[in-house]
Amino acid sequence: MPRKTDTRQRMVRSAARLLRRQGYAATGWRQVVADSATPWGSQAHHFPGGKEQLAAEAVTLSGAGYERLLRGVLADTHPADAVIAWADAAAAGLESSGWADGCPVATVALETAHSSDALAAACSAALATWHAALATSIVEHGAAPAEASALATLVLAGIEGGLLIARASRDAEPIRIVSRELAAVLRARARATAAADGESGGHETVGA
């Protein structure tokens, strides 16, 4: 028999998979228990805060997994190239899952952000870690922190929206188009920063 701790982890992992595909309202305890092959009744013991607690933990788990994926894509690469690679991987995931597996937190965020403090906080925290990963990489490639933060917001929003459009249209082309446009923006900004840096002797933008 699985250990208690294993039961709990399996429920969170199942919830994370189901929330990504179908969202919060459509995901019930019955399905989580069946999908995770855990005993009925254990949910009340492990999640006294109910489905909201389970979902918040699932979003946190998904967010951390996606952060690792994103940091892997960004490592030792210019962010412009990383955005293309990220979109390619996301497009492949969409296609292979029949347009089901997009962003692991977006559906829950849109369904519940206004009505659940716990879920809004979990979704927002996940998005913030992805934003930080992007902003750090953009700073490492020469941008000032404020500009890098704004560019990271643009990139994250663009990829999220691109995934949404791709899912609705059941066509990966929109996410690929968005990633090429974002890469062009990142390269143009890097060129502008390098030019300004050259003119000012290196003290104006880098390390600001």
Q: Mark residues 21-50: x for contact with its own copies by CB under 8 A, - for none.
A: xxxxxx------------------------
Beta carbons of 154 and 182 less than 8 angstroms apart: yes
Asked if 104 touches its own copies (CB under 8 A), the answer is no
Among 69, 132, 150, 206, binds its own copies (CB under 8 A): 150
**Following CA atoms 187, 189, 192, 197 in sequence, which dihedral angle do they give, to the nearest 10 degrees?**
-100
Among 32, 55, 139, 178, binds its own copies (CB under 8 A): 178
Asked if 90 touches its own copies (CB under 8 A), the answer is no
Asked if 132 touches its own copies (CB under 8 A), the answer is no
Shortest approach of its own copies to residue 65 CB, angstroms?
Answer: 17
Burial zone of 79 (CB within 10 Å; 0-12 exposed, 13-18 middle, 19+ buried): buried
Among 46, 185, 204, 205, binds its own copies (CB under 8 A): 185
Asked if 169 touches its own copies (CB under 8 A), the answer is yes
Among 85, 144, 154, 206, binds its own copies (CB under 8 A): 154
Asked if 115 touches its own copies (CB under 8 A), the answer is yes
Stretch that binds its own copies, among 6-14, 40-48, 75-83, 123-131 (CB under 8 A): 123-131
Asked if 181 touches its own copies (CB under 8 A), the answer is yes
Joined tokens for residue 40: 């009925």
Among 100, 194, 195, 196, binds its own copies (CB under 8 A): 100
Residues that bind its own copies (CB under 8 A): 21-26, 97-100, 102, 105-107, 109-111, 113-115, 120, 123-124, 127-128, 150-151, 153-154, 156-162, 164-165, 167-170, 174-175, 177-178, 180-182, 185, 188
